[in-house]
């Protein structure tokens, strides 16, 4: 059995060592002998057909960040509580950290990178100052963008309900909600 | 948090394929939505084993109403249940529970079958299924069998389910228009939390102020979800006065055996159970136009 490795040793790495967890995963996680057979998995990422070779129980989040190097999707809690890794799977918001690659095969995934940079929602976040540390922002943008597609003119209550799975520890949500409502009004 | 790169996943694309893989004698954990299973595997709460991914078995994803029975496929998500007009009409108490089961991200992925087989005593779909006297359709190599939800759970995470069987469908006979039911949940956070205590109350209010039938189920207060026959007995045949409702609410204490854990103490759970049952009864009494 291969040793059990912490997936992203951000806080565990001594200062003297490079803390590049991406390369750690690529060398240890993917190439380590004894791991499950790599599987070729084809899916649609932000509209483009994409093929990766990963262990089938690798999470979508690990694949996005460490294999495809799309680091817009963040890992917060890694257990479905914080919503930082929110992506759309076949058009609905899910946690990328709780989605295994075997569940992704043949399906469509949209990450924050799939939303245009000058999208009205992103503009509204900037204009309203709805970002502080920024770690929760990609997940919230993905979830809010989905909401505005489903409900173009949501009330404040609906916005808060749709974002109840996205934690922000900086802002107290006031400006985030204001930004989403502003984007809806534009 | 550990990665699962060494976990083998077998993918089943149809129910037949899934049953064939299960009957090979290999040991699998069945993966549906994965909203709890993946957490348990990654935190090490559950030892790593091969997975059987049935999340693509679309034939188990449906909500139908025929012959007076509401049928929900095991892989139907909480969001699909919440958005279903059929569920809202025939089992509104389940609709309420589906909405509070988790964030939208969890609701889009978590399935009712996964919630049932995961067998957490705090599972939000279970108190509604207990008061609705739901039945489970279980399929295996020897065919199909039907088990009542209360008989399915034999103890803490002990199920009437063999290793080569799958839960395929939930069947609900709608209780009728004379019933009003509500789900309640106390979580430590409103948006997305595991229940400290949850429950469902379903009352037949059609008999002119006198309770014809009463069904109360509570979760996270015993090794399995439990019904409260003591509280139900207080209510049946009585009027929903404040005094009766308090007596019924306090009677649930005889049917529960909560423990201390990270989400709350046993005492706190007892206190919550009594108060939530009272509040839910009070809400039902008001909706029924009673004298509460």
- Pair A128, A100 in one domain: no
**Minimal CA separation from B71 to chain A, in Å:** 24
Q: Which of A37, A94, A162 sits opposite B109 (nearest CB)?
A: A94
Higher pLDDT, A8 or B272: B272
> For each of chain B's 292 residues, which pLDDT tens digit applies?
888 888 999 999 999 999 999 999 888 999 999 999 999 999 999 999 999 999 999 999 999 999 999 999 999 999 999 999 999 999 999 999 999 999 999 999 999 999 999 999 999 999 999 999 999 999 999 999 999 999 999 999 999 999 999 999 999 999 989 999 999 999 888 777 889 999 999 999 998 889 999 999 999 999 999 999 999 999 999 999 999 999 999 999 999 999 999 899 999 999 999 999 999 999 999 999 855 5
For chain A, what is the domain count?
2
Residue A9 CB coordination number (10 Å): 14
Last residue of a domain, one of A67, A94, A111: A111
Per-residue model confidence (pLDDT) at position A32: 45
- Pair A84, A49 in one domain: yes
Contacts of B73 (CB under 8 A, 6+ apart): B59, B60, B61, B62, B63, B113, B168, B169
Per-residue model confidence (pLDDT) at position B6: 87
**Minimal CA separation from A85 to chain B, in Å:** 10
Per-residue model confidence (pLDDT) at position A35: 65
With contacts defined as CB-CB under 8 Å, which chain B residues touch A150? Answer: none
B83–chain A Cβ distance below 8 A for any pair: no
With contacts defined as CB-CB under 8 Å, which chain B residues touch A83? Answer: 103, 105, 192
Per-residue pLDDT for A37 more than 90? no
ipTM exceeding cut-off 0.90 for this assembly: yes
The CATH number of whichever domain residue A164 belongs to comes to 1.10.150.120
- Pair A25, A100 in one domain: yes
Q: Which one-letter DSSP state was computed for residue B45? A: S
- Domain assignment present for residue A89? The answer is yes
**Minimal CA separation from B11 to chain A, in Å:** 7
**Region label for B209, one of left (φ > 0), alpha (ψ between -120 and 50) or beta (otherwise):** left
- Domain assignment present for residue A148? The answer is yes
* Residues B2, A7: C-beta atoms closer than 8 Å: yes
Structural contact between residues A158 and A180, judged by C-beta atoms closer than 8 angstroms: no
- Domain assignment present for residue A7? The answer is no
Last residue of a domain, one of A61, A83, A111: A111
User: To the nearest whole percent, how much of chain A has pLDDT over 90?
Assistant: 74
Nearest CA in chain A to B35: A98
- Domain assignment present for residue A10? The answer is no
- Pair A103, A42 in one domain: yes
Residue among A48, A42, A180, A73 nearest A122 (CA): A180
Last residue of a domain, one of A111, A142, A165: A111
**Minimal CA separation from A54 to chain B, in Å:** 8
- Domain assignment present for residue A16? The answer is no
Given pLDDT bands bounded at 50, 70 and 90, which one contains residue A9? very low
The pTM for the full model equals: 0.91
- Pair A141, A97 in one domain: no
- Domain assignment present for residue A4? The answer is no
- Pair A25, A102 in one domain: yes
* Residues A100, B103: C-beta atoms closer than 8 Å: no
Per-residue pLDDT for A23 more than 70? no
Domain that holds residue A37: 21-111
Residue among B226, B279, B269, B211 nearest B249 (CA): B279
Per-residue model confidence (pLDDT) at position A4: 37
Reading the block at residue B212, the tokens are 């014809």
Per-residue model confidence (pLDDT) at position A16: 37
The DSSP-derived string for A15-41 is TTS---HHHHIIIIITT-TTSPPPEEE
* Residues A79, B1: C-beta atoms closer than 8 Å: yes
- Domain assignment present for residue A92? The answer is yes
- Pair A29, A84 in one domain: yes
- Pair A105, A126 in one domain: no
Per-residue model confidence (pLDDT) at position B181: 97
- Pair A31, A80 in one domain: yes
Average pLDDT over residues A26-55: 77
Distances in Å between the Cα of B113 and the Cα atoms of A95, B101, B232, B285 are 19, 13, 28, 32
Beta bridge partners of B73: B169
- Pair A125, A43 in one domain: no
- Domain assignment present for residue A164? The answer is yes
- Pair A39, A93 in one domain: yes
Find the Cα–Cα–Cα–Cα dihedral B76, A88, A47, A168, rounded to 10°: 180
SS3 content of chain A, % helix, strand, coil (to 5): 35, 15, 50
- Pair A96, A129 in one domain: no
Per-residue model confidence (pLDDT) at position A85: 98
């Amino acid at each position: 059995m291969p040793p059990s490795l912490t997936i992203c040793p951000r806080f565990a790495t001594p200062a003297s060592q490079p803390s590049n967890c991406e390369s750690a995963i690529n060398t240890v996680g993917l190439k380590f002998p004894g791991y499950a057979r790599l599987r070729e998995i084809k899916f649609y990422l932000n509209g483009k057909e994409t093929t990766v070779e990963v262990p089938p129980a690798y999470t979508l989040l690990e694949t996005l960040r460490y294999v495809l190097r799309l680091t817009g999707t963040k890992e917060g809690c890694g257990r479905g509580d914080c919503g930082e890794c929110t992506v759309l799977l076949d058009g609905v918001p899910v946690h990328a950290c709780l989605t295994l690659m075997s569940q992704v095969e043949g399906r469509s995934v949209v990450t924050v990178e799939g939303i245009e940079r000058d999208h009205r929602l992103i503009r509204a976040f900037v204009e309203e100052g709805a970002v502080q540390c920024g770690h929760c922002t990609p997940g919230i943008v993905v979830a809010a963008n989905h909401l505005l597609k489903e409900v173009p003119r949501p009330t404040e209550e609906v916005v808060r309900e749709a974002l109840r799975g996205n934690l922000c520890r900086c802002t107290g949500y006031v400006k985030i909600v204001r930004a989403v409502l502003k984007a809806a009004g534009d | 948090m550990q990665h699962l790169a060494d976990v083998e996943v077998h993918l089943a694309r149809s129910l037949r394929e899934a049953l064939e893989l299960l009957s090979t004698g290999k040991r699998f954990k069945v993966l549906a939505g994965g909203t709890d299973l993946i957490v348990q595997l990654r935190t090490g709460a559950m030892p790593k084993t091969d997975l059987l991914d049935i999340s693509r078995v679309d034939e188990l994803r449906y909500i139908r109403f025929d012959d007076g029975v509401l049928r929900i496929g095991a892989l139907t998500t909480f969001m699909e249940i919440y958005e279903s007009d059929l569920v809202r009409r025939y089992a509104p108490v389940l609709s309420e529970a589906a909405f509070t089961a988790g964030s939208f991200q969890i609701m889009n992925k978590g399935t009712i079958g996964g919630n049932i087989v995961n067998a957490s005593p705090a599972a939000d779909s279970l108190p509604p299924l207990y008061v609705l006297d739901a039945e489970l359709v279980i399929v295996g190599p020897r065919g199909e069998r039907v088990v009542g939800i209360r008989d399915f759970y034999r103890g803490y995470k002990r199920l009437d389910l063999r290793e080569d069987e799958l839960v395929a469908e939930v069947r609900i006979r709608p209780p009728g228009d004379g019933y009003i039911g509500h789900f309640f949940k106390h979580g430590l956070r409103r948006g997305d939390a595991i229940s400290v205590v949850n429950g469902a109350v379903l009352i037949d209010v059609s008999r002119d102020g006198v309770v014809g039938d009463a069904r109360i189920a509570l979760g996270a207060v015993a090794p399995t979800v439990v019904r409260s026959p003591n509280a139900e007995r207080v209510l049946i045949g009585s009027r929903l006065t404040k005094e009766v409702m308090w007596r019924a609410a306090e009677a649930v204490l005889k049917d529960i055996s909560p423990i201390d854990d990270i989400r709350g103490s046993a005492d706190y759970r007892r206190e919550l159970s009594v108060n939530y049952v009272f509040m839910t009864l009070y809400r039902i009494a008001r909706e029924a136009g009673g004298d509460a």
